[in-house]
Protein backbone atom coordinates (compact mmCIF):
# COMPACT_ATOMS: atom_id res chain seq x y z
CA UNK A 1 0.00 0.00 0.00
CA UNK A 2 1.28 3.43 -0.87
CA UNK A 3 2.06 6.07 1.71
CA UNK A 4 -0.19 9.10 1.71
CA UNK A 5 1.67 12.00 0.09
CA UNK A 6 2.10 15.35 1.80
CA UNK A 7 1.21 18.44 -0.20
CA UNK A 8 2.39 21.96 0.44
CA UNK A 9 0.99 25.25 -0.76
CA UNK A 10 2.06 25.80 -4.36
CA UNK A 11 2.69 22.10 -5.12
CA UNK A 12 1.41 20.81 -8.46
CA UNK A 13 -0.93 17.85 -8.10
CA UNK A 14 0.00 15.30 -10.78
CA UNK A 15 -1.61 12.14 -12.12
CA UNK A 16 1.06 10.14 -10.25
CA UNK A 17 0.02 11.88 -7.00
CA UNK A 18 -3.62 11.02 -7.71
CA UNK A 19 -2.73 7.35 -8.18
CA UNK A 20 -0.81 7.26 -4.89
CA UNK A 21 -3.63 9.00 -3.04
CA UNK A 22 -6.30 6.70 -4.50
CA UNK A 23 -4.31 3.63 -3.49
CA UNK A 24 -4.15 4.80 0.12
CA UNK A 25 -7.92 4.94 0.61
CA UNK A 26 -9.70 1.75 1.68
CA UNK A 27 -13.01 1.16 -0.06
CA UNK A 28 -15.91 -0.48 1.78
CA UNK A 29 -18.02 -3.36 0.45
CA UNK A 30 -21.06 -3.49 2.75
CA UNK A 31 -22.73 -6.91 2.88
CA UNK A 32 -25.96 -7.53 4.82
CA UNK A 33 -26.88 -11.09 3.83
CA UNK A 34 -26.00 -14.36 5.55
CA UNK A 35 -23.72 -15.58 2.74
CA UNK A 36 -21.15 -13.87 0.56
CA UNK A 37 -18.51 -15.17 -1.82
CA UNK A 38 -15.48 -12.93 -2.19
CA UNK A 39 -14.66 -11.64 -5.69
CA UNK A 40 -11.50 -10.20 -7.21
CA UNK A 41 -13.04 -6.73 -6.84
CA UNK A 42 -12.79 -7.14 -3.05
CA UNK A 43 -8.97 -7.09 -3.12
CA UNK A 44 -7.75 -4.23 -0.93
CA UNK A 45 -11.24 -3.50 0.36
CA UNK A 46 -12.91 -3.90 3.73
CA UNK A 47 -15.93 -6.17 3.56
CA UNK A 48 -18.34 -5.24 6.34
CA UNK A 49 -20.59 -8.21 7.10
CA UNK A 50 -23.62 -7.11 9.12
CA UNK A 51 -26.51 -9.38 9.99
CA UNK A 52 -28.18 -10.60 13.19
CA UNK A 53 -27.66 -14.20 12.01
CA UNK A 54 -24.39 -16.04 11.37
CA UNK A 55 -22.62 -15.11 8.13
CA UNK A 56 -20.64 -17.47 5.87
CA UNK A 57 -17.99 -15.70 3.79
CA UNK A 58 -16.46 -18.01 1.19
CA UNK A 59 -13.04 -17.67 -0.42
CA UNK A 60 -13.48 -19.27 -3.88
CA UNK A 61 -10.80 -21.12 -5.90
CA UNK A 62 -8.84 -19.68 -8.82
CA UNK A 63 -9.83 -16.06 -8.22
CA UNK A 64 -6.99 -14.46 -6.25
CA UNK A 65 -3.30 -13.95 -7.00
CA UNK A 66 -0.40 -14.24 -4.59
CA UNK A 67 -0.29 -11.09 -2.47
CA UNK A 68 -3.99 -10.28 -2.83
CA UNK A 69 -5.50 -9.23 0.49
CA UNK A 70 -9.09 -8.91 1.67
CA UNK A 71 -10.15 -7.42 5.01
CA UNK A 72 -13.37 -8.51 6.70
CA UNK A 73 -15.18 -6.88 9.62
CA UNK A 74 -18.09 -8.17 11.65
CA UNK A 75 -20.23 -5.10 11.19
CA UNK A 76 -22.66 -2.97 13.10
CA UNK A 77 -25.89 -4.51 11.76
CA UNK A 78 -26.11 -7.31 14.28
CA UNK A 79 -24.36 -9.93 16.30
CA UNK A 80 -23.86 -12.41 13.44
CA UNK A 81 -20.44 -14.01 13.62
CA UNK A 82 -18.60 -14.17 10.28
CA UNK A 83 -17.16 -17.60 9.47
CA UNK A 84 -14.54 -17.56 6.73
CA UNK A 85 -14.95 -20.72 4.67
CA UNK A 86 -12.86 -22.35 1.96
CA UNK A 87 -14.33 -22.99 -1.46
CA UNK A 88 -13.56 -26.30 -3.20
CA UNK A 89 -9.79 -26.72 -3.51
CA UNK A 90 -8.97 -23.75 -1.28
CA UNK A 91 -6.76 -24.05 1.81
CA UNK A 92 -7.22 -21.58 4.68
CA UNK A 93 -4.40 -21.53 7.23
CA UNK A 94 -4.92 -19.88 10.60
CA UNK A 95 -3.33 -20.14 14.03
CA UNK A 96 -5.42 -22.59 16.02
CA UNK A 97 -7.86 -23.07 13.10
CA UNK A 98 -9.48 -19.76 14.04
CA UNK A 99 -11.76 -18.72 11.19
CA UNK A 100 -14.61 -16.87 12.97
CA UNK A 101 -14.75 -13.20 13.91
CA UNK A 102 -14.51 -12.66 17.64
CA UNK A 103 -17.40 -10.21 18.01
CA UNK A 104 -18.76 -6.93 16.73
CA UNK A 105 -16.05 -4.80 15.04
CA UNK A 106 -13.62 -7.75 14.94
CA UNK A 107 -11.47 -7.59 11.80
CA UNK A 108 -9.77 -10.39 9.89
CA UNK A 109 -7.39 -10.29 6.95
CA UNK A 110 -7.26 -13.02 4.29
CA UNK A 111 -3.96 -13.03 2.37
CA UNK A 112 -3.25 -15.20 -0.68
CA UNK A 113 0.18 -16.82 -0.15
CA UNK A 114 0.13 -19.36 -3.03
CA UNK A 115 -2.36 -20.59 -5.61
CA UNK A 116 -5.62 -21.27 -3.74
CA UNK A 117 -3.78 -21.02 -0.40
CA UNK A 118 -4.45 -18.29 2.13
CA UNK A 119 -3.46 -17.24 5.63
CA UNK A 120 -6.20 -15.78 7.83
CA UNK A 121 -5.15 -13.45 10.66
CA UNK A 122 -6.91 -11.03 12.96
CA UNK A 123 -9.35 -10.90 15.85
CA UNK A 124 -10.59 -14.48 15.43
CA UNK A 125 -11.92 -17.43 17.40
CA UNK A 126 -12.24 -21.15 16.66
Residue 118 has pLDDT above 90, yes or no: yes
Residues 54-92: tens digit of each pLDDT:
999 999 999 999 999 999 999 887 689 999 999 999 999
Residue 5 has pLDDT above 70, yes or no: no
Q: What is the pLDDT of residue 32?
A: 94
Contacts 24+ apart (CB under 8 A), 78-81: 78/50, 78/51, 78/52, 78/53, 79/52, 79/104, 80/34, 80/49, 80/50, 80/51, 80/52, 80/53, 80/54, 80/55, 81/54, 81/55
Q: What is the pLDDT of residue 1?
A: 44
Amino acid sequence: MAVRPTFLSGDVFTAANATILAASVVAINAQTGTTYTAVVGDVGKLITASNAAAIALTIPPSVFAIGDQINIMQGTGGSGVVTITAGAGVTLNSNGAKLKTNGQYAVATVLCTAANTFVVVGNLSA
